[in-house]
Chains A and B, each alone.
Chain A
């Protein structure tokens, strides 16, 4: 068996297909912008701290864990209710609840964390594999992340633009730092928190006291790096935490019994959280539930891989043959997905969509194969959607910059905006759709599965 580089999983992870996010509503916003040029110096406002100027040595993760304790157990519910009041335009309730969530100790801790030079969560994934505990993710996204948003919205409402930017910077840093944890679920939490900060930033941009944030936004790094980092982690933890897979990696062979136990172990991971618990337990005998043609393919593969005559292979325990085939096939499919991770979003999404269909076909043909890849395309869509949102917000500020230089006029075409170039739509790799009608500009992406429509008006 060829050397397995380092295989991550499998199963659940790669994909985290984010079903709920695939069905989320389109990104629709309206901006009422005052015509303000970008500041001078250009980076007067920043959404992340400078690496050399602002940061101090240390590990941010420890301070973030402290912040969860400082926040307390009931802050999550309060933050959620406060945001619901904001969405419901219940200003009185929002103001009252937001003021009760000032939490100065928490924000001091977050400020220290955001200024640390690195963030290392040190999850024991190589030792514990899929049993690794990540209890910090939920309170960070549902608690700390939402509290940051509440505070920023309250400051925006009070006209404290600079303070709101300082608060949002803590949130962008939090999102970036959670993305340092090399696993897909953390990467998706990172996306959720950053997207939440974008929601508040969009509110700030429409405020009459808001500075032009073109250069601040154009500096934000692409989320594709977070995706890439998560894929690295997914590839690396299951094998080290599973001795049988380590044996395979080192070129050893497993007995029939070892293969049966390994397949059962992987099924336990795949089935984790399935409701009801026994729902996915049918058709799991690797011999009885594998179609004859797949068993034939497995034999052919074993003969070639081991340079063994057919008569000798026929005497082996069939579970060994099938287990080897399942594992080899998994490695092939994983690398087929993994190798694409550096491609631009349009190519990445197109290729992974095609692969997703093929992976689904294999899964249906091999019901007893627990080494399943999920359709990674939906996960990629989450990262692409966030990058598109940041690009669109940058484009809005570019248009505002044009208006500031042209007496409040909107550009007729995006190409007319030259000093603050309008970024392309990273999802399509093409310019955003743009039109001006009745004194309003519309920036759009109508071709994607989750469309985007930003309407922009310049206030006089």
Chain B
């Protein structure tokens, strides 16, 4: 009350005006509100289920593209190792005595008779019953 006595005339007038106001009748639909609340609460899990289904379908689809016998292993860890490789030149394989360069040299120095001997395997006849 102490508070009321402190009001100015203008405030008192505003107070009276407020007292004349009446509350409007309520329009809330309890069922609709409950449905909407439920719908909102389920949207998130629905999106999760949809995403999970799509992901499973994707995995199932791509599994047909993987050749039989291959397993999908995790990618190996590739470590960068410095190598002394020259990409502009072919790698130098071990020089065989049957390589063109060695044969050319042999023939140029000592003639065709000096071709290095080629190692030949011994073959034997195979009988048909040996394959069974």
Contact = CB atoms under 8 A, between A and B. Distances in A.
Interface stretch (A9-17, A210-218, A442-450, A452-460): A9-17
Contact of B108 (A16, A129, A243): A16
A185 B111 contact: no
B63 interface: no
Interface string B71-108: 00000000000000011111011011011111111111
B107 A18 contact: yes
A265 B90 CA distance: 9
Interface string A50-77: 0000000000000000001111110010
Given A192-B112, A192-B113, 5 more contacts: A20-B113, A131-B96, A133-B98, A138-B116, A265-B92
Nearest to A193: B112
Contacts of B112: 18, 21, 141, 188-189, 191-192
A112 interface: no
A166 interface: no
B110 interface: yes
A305 to B, nearest CB: 21
Q: How large is the interface on A (under 10, 10 to 19, 20 to 34, 35 or more residues)?
A: 35 or more
A135 B108 contact: no
A129 B92 CA distance: 11
A274 B95 CA distance: 12
Interface in B100-132: 100-123
Contacts of A131: 90, 92-93, 95-96, 99-101
Nearest to B93: A131
B130 to A, nearest CB: 18
Interface string A237-276: 0000111100100000010001001100100110011100
Contacts of B118: 135-139
Nearest to A243: B88
A224 interface: no
A132 interface: yes
A262 B100 contact: no
